[in-house]
Amino acid sequence: MRFAQAPERVSARREMSSLKTVIVQPWFTEIGHPAQSTLNTAKALGKRHDVAYLVANPHASVFEPFSAGIADYGRVVGFRAPEGFLRMGTLLAVAALARLARRTSELERVFFLDAHLLTLAALWPLVPARLRAVRSLGLIYLAGPEPIAAHALKRRIVAHFVSAPGRRLFLRTDELADAWRTAFPAIPASRIDTIASLEILDERDVVPPREQATRVRFGVIGQVRPGKGLEWLVPLFQGASAPGELLVAGTFTNAEHRARLAMLESYPNFDNRFLAESEMLTAAGAQDYVLALYDNWDPRMEAATMFLAARVGRPVIVYDEGWPGRMVREFGCGISVARQRRPDARFFSGLPHPGDPAYRTLLGGVERFRQAHGGATSREAFLARLLGD
């Protein structure tokens, strides 16, 4: 006797068999932007029955709303992975991808929003032939080439992987793309490219009005960790002679960071909690300046803080180097300072105040940055890279 299959099971099987594109995020539950960037990607692609989102731990605590949001646009396929370990997450993502590939005969495109590049490059020759045969394999990589380029075997593995037909390595900035092309001249130039950010995807963001305040307000918003200048910024803004008010809003990613920044526990303007996107926007919008004075960071990388500030119409303060420094010079969306001349109380006290003509000029620069990096233009540029062959 044969039993009829449940309709929902048949439907799910048909959905899988028609998959053409899989978006992979092995770092979904990392504090920061992976979950939000995956949701933004789904919004940019729109509702599509031929796209699946393969993500690590999709039902983990505060990240489940992101998974639910993604499910409005495509099928979410989860796999378990230890949090905070991109190498292991990449390995497990490849294994899950191989299982998924066995359930579809139409897969054409795989796109990693994050991955441990060396692990992916080393594993790919071992995946099933059906998966190796995809027409397009893309990866967004956030870091520079130096750790890989300096090691002969790693260099050879990655160069072979990226040079193969249909492969594309995407960097977030021109600074990083130039560094990769210089370090790997044997890789065809067309295989190394930049890709637009979707951080300012929502054109409906509303710039909040500034509430009345007697002192200039500054904010460090997002992941709380050493290297963001908190070690010297917080003492600067304590006491009667402080050059304004400093808000630190966000949470730690691990116990080591909490221990190294123990002085924050007694800081009255520390909002120590995980912030949803709307809460980050509210916190940033309540400031007059958003700070991105990172001491331990590759300045060739994008600073997500600049996008956050632009969404709420607030200027930034950054070091005059790399991508953030170039953005300030190009758009006038904030104020930059030389790293060797660390800002002091006099610097912060001398900044333009809200209402000053100079501050209004900064707001004009913020709007220019926002227009250049948001809305339909960025979305179309991103999709052209993701869906291109």
Place of tokens 């990589």: 141
Residue 200: DSSP 8-state: B
Phi and psi of 155, rounded to 5°? -60, -45
Q: Which region among 152-161, 196-205, 335-344 has the lowest average model confidence (pLDDT)?
A: 196-205
Provide mean pLDDT across the span 67-90.
94
Angle formed at CA 115 by CA 72 and CA 205, multiple of 5 degrees = 45
Q: Report pTM.
A: 0.90
**Residue 206's pLDDT is what?**
67
Please determine, for residue 2, whether its predicted confidence score (pLDDT) is greater than 50: no
**In the structure encoding, which two tokens stand for residue 374, read together?**
């948001």
The helix (H) or strand (E) run that includes residue 326 is: helix 322-331
Residue 165 has a pLDDT of: 95
- Give the containing element (helix H, strand E) for 140: strand 136-141
**Can you give the pLDDT at residue 80?**
94
CA separation (Å) from 314 to 261, 283, 338, 344, 355? 27, 11, 21, 21, 13
Sign of CA dihedral 6, 8, 11, 15: negative
- Residues 209-262 pLDDT 10s: 766 667 999 999 999 999 999 999 999 999 888 999 999 999 988 899 999 999
E strand or H helix that includes residue 131: helix 129-132
pLDDT at 33: 80
Domains of the chain, CATH where assigned: 7-201+375-387 (3.40.50.2000), 217-373 (3.40.50.2000)
pLDDT for res 203: 64
Percentage with pLDDT > 70 across the chain: 93
Q: Phi and psi for 141 in degrees, rounded to 5?
A: -120, 135
Q: State pLDDT tens for residues 143-189.
A: 999 999 999 999 999 999 999 999 999 999 999 999 999 999 999 99
DSSP letter for 212, please.
Answer: P
Position with higher pLDDT, 9 vs 233:
233
26 within 8 A of 115, measured Cβ to Cβ: yes
* Per-residue pLDDT at 277: 86
- Answer whether residue 8 shows pLDDT above 70: no
**pLDDT at residue number 25:** 97
Tokens of 237: 């803004």
Is it the case that residue 15 has pLDDT exceeding 60?
A: no
Answer left, alpha or beta for residue 245, where phi above 0 means left and psi between -120 and 50 means alpha.
beta
Per-residue pLDDT at 1: 34
